[in-house]
Structures are given as C-alpha cells and as structure tokens.
Amino acid sequence: MAVATVRPGAARPPQPSLARGLVILGSTGSIGVNTLKVVALHPGRFRVVALTGNTQVERLYEQCQQFQPELAAMMDERAAEELERKLRAAGSGVRVVAGIPGLCEAALLPSAQIVMAAIVGAAGLAPTLGAVRAGRRVLLANKESLVMLGTLMMDEAAKFSAEILPIDSEHNAVFQCLPTGTRLLESCGVRRILLTCSGGPFRTWTLPQIEGATPDEACAHPNWRMGRKISVDSATLMNKGLEVIEACHLFRATADMVDVVIHPQSVVHSLVEYRDGSMLAQLGNPDMRTPIAHALGWPERIDSGVAGLDLAAIGRFDFEQPDSDRFPCLALAYGACRRGGTAPAVLNAANEIAVEAFLAGQIGFTTIARVIESVLSSVPVEDSISVETVLQYDAMARTEARELVAHKGKRVS
C-alpha cells in the first residue's frame, strides 16, 4: 500500500492550530455520518473544511451548521441551490458548489490534508483520483475507485506520495494484520487473505425463497446498518466480490490469494494467513466507527466511541464457505478480477444498474446476477486502462444493462 512508515508517537491531543484539515466526500451517507461522529470526539485534532452530499439538503445543512466548513458541494444542482438558500438565510458563510466539478473542488482545497472518500458508486471516481494526485491522505471507502481504476489509482498514489488507507472494515482489518507499511505480501510471508462476510439476510434461505425476495428484505442486513444499494450488494455477495478486486489492488495480491469466508457474527473482520501457518485476525464490534477512527488517527490509535467486545457473551465464532449456486455474483466478480482490464468496471456498472432496477421493483432479486452476467458477455474488454477508457466502458455497460432491464430480464432468464 502507499502508506507512510512512521511509527506511533506518544498520544497527546494536538493544539487547535495543528488541527488537520478534513474533507468528507459523501458526508450525508452512513460512512460520512459516522466519520463526523468520530471527529466530534476529538475537538482540536481535526478541522472539517469541506462536506459533500447528493440530494439530502437538510442533513448537509445541519452538518454545515455544526462543523462550519469552508465549502459544501452537492452532486444535484437543484439541491445545491436549495442548500445555498438555507445557508444564506441562516447567515452562514459556507460556500456552495455543485456537480462533479464541485466535488473535485472540495477534494482539492488547499486546506485539506485528509480526504474521506465515501461517495457510493462511480460518481466518487473523479474527486477521489483528484485527491490522490494532490498527494492527500485518502481514507478510501469508495470501493468503485479501485474496482474501476485500481492499477492507475495505486500507481498515481505512489507517484504523488499519497497515502491510501482502507475504510471498508475487511480491508482495514487486513491492513491492521500486516506489518506497518507493507505493500508486497510475499515479502512479509503472507500466503493468503481471508475476507469475512456475514452472508447477508439470505444466508439460510433456499433458492426459491431468494427468487421471491423483496427490496425491503434484501436491505434488512442482520448486523450492519448501511445504505440500500450497499445492503443489496451484501445480500447478493457482490459487495464481497467488489472487495476481492479492491483487496488485490490495495495489497498487490492475485485473486488466488484472496478467499471469502462467511462469518455470521461479523466480529472477525478479516484474517491474514502467513507462510508458517499462523493466522492473524482483527476483531471488533460491527461498527464502522472503528475502521474510521483507525484511519483518521493512523499511526496512532484514537477513541472511536465503540464499546469493546464481550467474548464470553458472543460465545462462539462460526465460519462457512459461500454457496455459489445461490449467490452467483461472487463468482462473477472473481471472473472479472482475473480477466482484468475494463472487466471490473463493466461488472460494477452493470451491478449498479441492476440493483437500481431491483430497488425500483423493475426486476427480481435473482435477475440482478443474470443482468450482470449478460453484460459481461456482451461488452468487450479493453486491456489498457485510462480514465477515459474506463468511463467509456462504464457507459457501454450501463446502456446494455438498461436495455436488459427494460426487457425485465427476459433476455437473461
């Protein structure tokens, strides 16, 4: 990984003048909200300089009133106009911008030292890459940035001396189980990475039951509180498939070095197996404030507000292999990872359209995988990667997926 090698010093609260400028891309989502909760525990350590959202005007308005950033950006232009009116009426001096250019402006503020990249989907690609090229410390919760542009993103991080620290609980757990500053796994004796997942709400359902699953049932995650899109990805196991691709880029691993294991308790967040047979695991309550606090404070440990584990109360840890017949999205992600090039971007784009259609009631739950498989089969793969190429294939995949959705899955049944 492109991270510093400095060791933790004595933990002491910094003076207010030394507070680190923080930008939160996606502050109205669950990761952004939890980031602000951690920041509020550490007055004087961080200074929020920019907040961004999509359409949730009221939530971003309240965040601006509490943290008084320099800049607020909204992806939706009408929402930005409404936010600006509310802030002006309140006498706030927060400047408001809109669209992808506004998100990029927020990521590139001169006062920003840390950028939390928490925008879900391809919309977070440009501002995240911009933050990397600006040499920021990037706390990466936008997995699409690595799924779509992983090789370029990591190369740019090395080129511009940016630090990329993972926020996904699984990747953050792997990072904590590796020697400080590790990038090449084989150099420190790592045999494989094991990413854990809860199995989602349908872990024990039969295939006929899964076929009739509703959006509300798919979003009823047993352990984590997440947005609806990510919740559906967890239910299909596509979220874990995207994390496999992400792990390969973050840790310079091959797909064969990354395994997925179902762990219903969601307490063991991931494991690293070493050449000598040893396994190291990171454990914690299923609360995103833990990896957020780890990355915000790294290399120090700071309070996250999360309670410690009661191992006696947990009582047991269960592990099982995922069932590829009931959850084919995981195998599709592994295939795209091994193929490389633009295949992961096509996978991601098709998944976004299919999940959107499922949540809108246009297709059934199991049709999500069939749409993705069909798009992967019909859209060619380009091996050379650039931002322009990836966006081109992303658009092609979305067009194809929308056409399939319009036929309500009949072409992919």
3-state secondary structure 168-201: CHHHHHHHHHCCCCCCCHHHHCEEEEEEEECCCC
Q: What per-residue confidence (pLDDT) applies to 7?
A: 32
pLDDT for the residue numbered 226: 65
Higher pLDDT, 144 or 339: 339
φ/ψ of 166, rounded to 5, equals -80, 140
Contacts of 366 (CB under 8 A, 6+ apart): 207, 210, 211
Contact 165, 138 (CB under 8 A): yes
Where is average pLDDT lowest: 135-149, 178-192, 238-252? Answer: 178-192
Is the pLDDT at 10 greater than 50? The verdict is: no
User: Per-residue pLDDT tens for 370-403?
Assistant: 999 999 999 999 998 888 999 999 999 999 999 9
Query: pLDDT band at residue 181, thresholds of 50, 70 and 90?
Result: low
Q: What is the pLDDT of residues 82-134, one digit of tens each?
A: 999 999 999 999 999 999 999 999 999 999 999 999 997 778 889 999 999 99
Q: Any idea which of 182-186, 269-273, 324-328 has the lowest mean pLDDT?
A: 182-186
Give pLDDT, residue 142.
84
Separation of alpha carbons 365 and 235, rounded Å = 9
Nearest to 219 by CA among 398, 30, 91: 30
Greatest distance between any 2 Cα atoms in the chain: 64
Query: Which three-class secondary structure string do you get for 228-270?
Result: HHHHHHHHHCHHHHHHHHHHHHHCCCCHHHEEEEECCCCCEEE
Confidence at residue 225, expressed as pLDDT on a 0 to 100 scale: 63
Phi, psi (rounded to 5 degrees) for 239: -55, -40
If pLDDT is split at 50, 70 and 90, which confidence band does 9 have?
A: very low
Nearest of 363, 346, 344, 349 to residue 408 by alpha carbon? 363
Tell which residue, 85, 254, 113, 248, has the closest CA to residue 170: 248
**What tokens appear for 71 in the block?**
């800049």
Cis peptide bond N-terminal to 299, omega within 30: yes
pLDDT in tens, 336-358: 999 999 999 999 999 999 999 99
DSSP state letters, 371-386: HHHHHHHHS----S--
Alpha-carbon gap, residue 220 to 200, rounded angstroms: 8
Three-state secondary-structure class, residue 98: strand
- Tell me: pLDDT of 16 over 50: no
The CATH T-level fold of domain 16-167 is Rossmann fold (3.40.50)
Question: Residue 361 pLDDT > 70, yes or no?
Answer: yes
**Do the strands 95-98 and 71-74 form a parallel or antiparallel pair, or are they unpaired?**
parallel
Per-residue pLDDT at 179 exceeds 90: no
Task: Write out the two tokens for 80.
Answer: 């930005």
Distance (Å, whole) CA 8 – CA 13: 14
Contact between 274 and 192 under an 8 Å Cβ cutoff? The reply is: no
Which secondary structure element, helix H or strand E, spans residue 397, and what is its range?
helix 387-406
For residue 157, give the 3-state DSSP assignment: helix
Return d(Cα 352, Cα 5) in angstroms, integer.
36
User: Tokens in use for 195?
Assistant: 């990413």
What residue has token string 């959202």? 53
- Copy the structure tokens of residue 293: 């606090």
At 9, give phi and psi (nearest 5°): -100, -170
- What percentage of the chain carries pLDDT values higher than 90? 80
pLDDT at 110: 95
Q: Report the pLDDT value the prediction gives residue 371, as an integer from 0 to 100.
A: 97
Phi/psi at 144 (5° precision):
-60, -30
CB atoms within 10 A of CB 376: 19
Beta strands 190-197 and 268-274: pairing type?
antiparallel
Q: Whole-model pTM?
A: 0.87
Distance CA 363, CA 355 (A): 9
Mean pLDDT over each residue of the chain, to the nearest integer: 90
Residue of 16, 10, 30, 115 whose CA lies nearest to 73: 115
Percent over 70 (pLDDT), the chain = 92
Burial degree of 413 (CB within 10 A; 0-12, 13-18, 19+): exposed
pLDDT, one tens digit per residue, over 314-332 is 999 999 999 988 999 999 9
The Cα–Cα gap between 135 and 155 comes to 12
